[in-house]
Structure 1
Amino acid sequence: MILYPAIDLKDGQAVRLLRGEMAAATVFNDDPAAQARAFVEAGARWLHLVDLNGAFAGRPVNAAAVEAILAACPDTPAQLGGGIRDMATIETWLDKGLARVILGTVAVEDPELVRAAARAFPGRIAVGIDARAGRVATRGWAEETEVEATELARRFEDAGVAALVYTDIERDGAMGGPNVAATEALARAVSIPVIASGGVAALADLIALRDTGVIAGAISGRALYDGELDLAEALAALG
């Protein structure tokens, strides 16, 4: 199972939100590129980036910070979500060196774009599924839909997407542990690799996700910044 250290970007800084609330942002580093280097130096094999402002604006906002991270860590693949809602933006980011882009809102609103992108860029398109009580939320988690997370995942079963990033919004940034049961259920419902996001607070949480045998990856942010989770130790434990 791959561990993805998270760098959430707001106003050019590395922050963490509590349950997706922009007003509940804690700044952890005003130099996101330096934070990325620190994660890579600790052994991270991937980076998970989120343009939080972009998720609300519907377009890239923290592009300069993302580009600085890519320049600082050219040999470490990175995936980015937030505000990526058209093919031109997808192409631009992949051309700039991102290994993978994560499409969330458009997966609900324009699923054909996801399918087209997955055909055009094999292995480089992921779908972000962000849910409250099992129902998908879009546009920076500000709008709730009636779409069930598993239903949305199954829509892309034959699309060729590289991964699903599943976030339980109520767990995100809350340090209360991930929703292992819901994430495992989703992973068993589809053949697409599932990456767990939200709530990882300790090494035991990562072990629990890994031991399901079906979860391909896990994202951690606040636990790493708060020191509750040691990245090098976690990477060694996961193998």
Structure 2
Amino acid sequence: MIIYPTLELYSGKVVSLRRGRLEEPVIWHVDPVETARSYAAAGAEWLHVTDIDALAGGDGNAELIEQIIRAAGIPVQLGGGFRSREMIESWINRGAGRIVVGTLATHDPDLVRELAKRHPDQIVLAVDVFEGAVMTEGWRTKGAFDPESYIAAFDGAPLAGVIVTDIDADIADADASLAVISGLAAATRHPVIARGTVRSVDDVARLKYVQNIAGTLVGRALLSKDVDLKQALGVAASDSEPVAEFL
């Protein structure tokens, strides 16, 4: 299982959002580029970066993200406000290892399928689930799609993976239930990357036993030092113990 250390960027700073709200960012007083380097030095295989400004329609972090891509030394999975072919292909050409699309997939699924075929293993679908529905526009708009049929609509596309967020669990700021994520992971052929579920190393160990979970994003827990990255990477890389079958 792959641990994706995660940096969320807002106005050039590393932040975490309370309940997904831009009005209440938690600002971490760390250097984004040096933090990216430190995650790579700890042994991370991938880095995940979300451009919060781009979600809101801006592009103020573009130069910083380019610095991170150059400095990290590991592939960067980039999300935040990708709403056009031109923007996606521009960032692929600028060195992003993968591009995460969310709202675009609800508005133009055919384009996302086409991009996945054109850039195999570089397009990741983000599925944010709240009260049984797929949310768009950075958690602000409730869509008309149920997550199971929505993910199934992309079964034929060569996606690199699907990031699933259980928003109900995330905004509660409590131990995340794996029911939503595990159910969706079992229903798709695409590898699933869980978001919002890791608050301790024990949560990493728990995810390893969920069918078709290929990775997890870990952001705030690393910055708050509730999770040690080297320890989490060791747990993620270790062999899982046998699980008894229940008849």
TM-score, normalised to structure 1's length?
0.94
Q: Does 1:71 align with 2:70?
A: yes
SS in structure 2 at match of 1:98: coil
SS in structure 2 at match of 1:137: strand
**Equivalence for 1:28:** 28
**Equivalence for 1:88:** 86
Structure 2 CA distance for aligned equivalents of residues 140 and 123 of structure 1: 23
- Cα deviation for residue 175 of structure 1 reads 4.6
Contact kept? 2:5, 2:218, Cα under 8 Å: yes
**Equivalence for 1:216:** 214
Tell me the alpha carbon deviations over residues 171-200 of structure 1, each in whole angstroms, 9 at most, x when there is no partner: 337652333121111011110110000131
Contact kept? 1:16, 1:173, Cα under 8 Å: no
Structure 2 CA distance for aligned equivalents of residues 14 and 174 of structure 1: 22
Structure 1 CA distance for aligned equivalents of residues 84 and 46 of structure 2: 24
**Equivalence for 1:7:** 7
Structure 2 CA distance for aligned equivalents of residues 222 and 236 of structure 1: 19
Q: Which among 146, 169, 172 is matched to residue 170 of structure 2? A: 172
**Equivalence for 1:17:** 17
Matched letter for residue 5 of structure 2: P
* Equivalent residues in 2 for 1:1-239, closer than 5 Å: 1-57=1-57, 60-73=59-72, 75-172=73-170, 175-239=173-237
Matched letter for residue 14 of structure 2: A
**Is the alpha carbon distance of 1:207 and 1:175 closer, same or farther for their aligned partners in structure 2, counting shifts above 3 Å?**
farther
Note the aligned Cα RMSD (angstroms).
1.4
Q: Percent identity between the aligned chains?
A: 36
Structure 1, unpaired ranges of 5+: none
- Cα deviation for residue 170 of structure 1 reads 3.1
Structure 2, unpaired ranges of 5+: 238-247
Structure 2 CA distance for aligned equivalents of residues 50 and 220 of structure 1: 12
Structure 2 CA distance for aligned equivalents of residues 222 and 174 of structure 1: 15
Matched letter for residue 46 of structure 1: W
Contact kept? 1:18, 1:172, Cα under 8 Å: no
Structure 2 CA distance for aligned equivalents of residues 123 and 150 of structure 1: 22
Q: How many residues align?
A: 237
Larger Rg: 2
Structure 2 CA distance for aligned equivalents of residues 82 and 230 of structure 1: 26
Matched letter for residue 22 of structure 1: L
Structure 1 CA distance for aligned equivalents of residues 53 and 156 of structure 2: 31
SS in structure 1 at match of 2:56: helix
- Cα deviation for residue 162 of structure 1 reads 1.1
Contact kept? 2:185, 2:213, Cα under 8 Å: yes
TM-score, normalised to structure 2's length?
0.91
Contact kept? 2:121, 2:159, Cα under 8 Å: yes
Structure 2 CA distance for aligned equivalents of residues 162 and 41 of structure 1: 24
SS in structure 2 at match of 1:44: coil
Contact kept? 1:3, 1:218, Cα under 8 Å: yes
Structure 2 CA distance for aligned equivalents of residues 133 and 44 of structure 1: 33
Greater shift after overlay, 80-89 or 164-173? Answer: 164-173
